Amino acid sequence: MASVGDAFFQKQLTSRRERLQAATARNGEMTELSRLVSEVDAALARLESGTFGICEVCEGNIEPERLIADPLVRVCLDELPPHERRRLEADLEMAGRIQRALLPPQDLTAHGWEVHYRYEPVGPVSGDYCDLIVANPPSGEVFFLLGDVSGKGVAASLLMSHLHAMFRSLVTTGQPLEQMLAVASRLFCESTLSGQYATLVAGRADGSGILEVAGAGHPPALLVGASGVTRIESSGFPLGMFADAHFTTQKVEFRAGDALLFYSDGVTESRSPSGEEYGVGRLARFAETQRGSTPADLVSACFGELRAFAGAQPRADDVTMMALRRAA
Ligand SMILES: [Zn+2]
């Protein structure tokens, strides 16, 4: 997860304090407001003394996402009373359900393209972003999107739904792919906390068999072709890192039997029981042996290979893969 420093919390807490004081001045009902003011003051004092973010009961670290959501928390999850834990779990479950409802159908055939993806969050919610969008006529173009938001948990899933909404509207504007990414990066910069960003690979295809691909700091897409696997590298920075970032698109020509594979870094950063990283090279070598399979079979085979590599090792990250090819 992208880390945020003391300065971030200092700013958050100071602005909370100002708002509370303004409300106190307006309001006759003092007790609740002054209680909150003293809690904010206590948090500022903890920042000052270097104990901010440390659990008051076990002296372990408080979960960073919970601190970002609420800088006033003083104990780690383990210390919460059962009813509060149940409430948090119910919230998380609901967030997961909302997130799953944002996913596109797992299989899509449009404009002579055939797509399949698999999305496996490690917890109830995921920081992976995956979408398939068919633009309205006359263009009817197909957009393939796969991204990975910094961080984990509910905070990351909120950013994921933010990306989802942005691209759903951006595709209606009909602007070039590289420009869509530039706008998305700027909007992401302006509307999220600093230090939060998303890597992304985006494809845009029409009926001619040519696909444009643009990447924002994402692992390379893999074109599985007759003469081997070509890596299509991401040339841009992650979305949200710079407000005036530039992106470039590459045209990818498909021949019969070729497939393109998108994946999140949860795939390539998976580890074997001995700690070895899965890596792009291994994924590319395996994908090459599967040339000619349908997108669904390719994704399923790659997941199988990844599982065999990782063994009983518990997964550390969300895993998403998408494959597409020209329909036979
Ligand atoms: Zn604790």
* pLDDT tens figures, 112-146: 899 999 999 888 888 899 999 998 877 789 999 99
Q: From CA 92, how far away is CA 69, in angstroms rounded?
A: 13
State the distance from the centre of ligand 1 to the C-alpha of 179, rounded, in angstroms: 46
State the distance from the centre of ligand 1 to the C-alpha of 62, rounded, in angstroms: 7
Q: From CA 95, how far away is CA 158, in angstroms rounded?
A: 9
User: How confident is the model at residue 259, as a pLDDT?
Assistant: 94
State the distance from the centre of ligand 1 to the C-alpha of 284, rounded, in angstroms: 43
The model's confidence at residue 27, banded by pLDDT at 50, 70 and 90, is low
Residue 169 has pLDDT above 50, yes or no: yes
pLDDT, tens digit (0-9, with 9 covering 90-100), for 51-101: 999 999 999 999 887 887 788 999 998 999 999 889 888 888 888 888 899
Chain centroid to Cα 107, Å, comes to 21
State the distance from the centre of ligand 1 to the C-alpha of 102, rounded, in angstroms: 34
State the distance from the centre of ligand 1 to the C-alpha of 222, rounded, in angstroms: 44
- CA-based nearest residue to 199, from 235, 162, 238: 238
pTM: 0.79
User: How confident is the model at residue 194, as a pLDDT?
Assistant: 64
State the distance from the centre of ligand 1 to the C-alpha of 80, rounded, in angstroms: 9
State the distance from the centre of ligand 1 to the C-alpha of 10, rounded, in angstroms: 22
State the distance from the centre of ligand 1 to the C-alpha of 34, rounded, in angstroms: 26
Residue 10 has pLDDT above 70, yes or no: yes
State the distance from the centre of ligand 1 to the C-alpha of 93, rounded, in angstroms: 23
The model's confidence at residue 295, banded by pLDDT at 50, 70 and 90, is very high
Cβ neighbours of residue 45 closer than 8 Å, sequence gap 6 or more? none
- CA-based nearest residue to 199, from 258, 156, 251, 138: 156
Phi/psi of residue 185, nearest 5 degrees = -65, -45
State the distance from the centre of ligand 1 to the C-alpha of 61, rounded, in angstroms: 7
State the distance from the centre of ligand 1 to the C-alpha of 75, rounded, in angstroms: 5
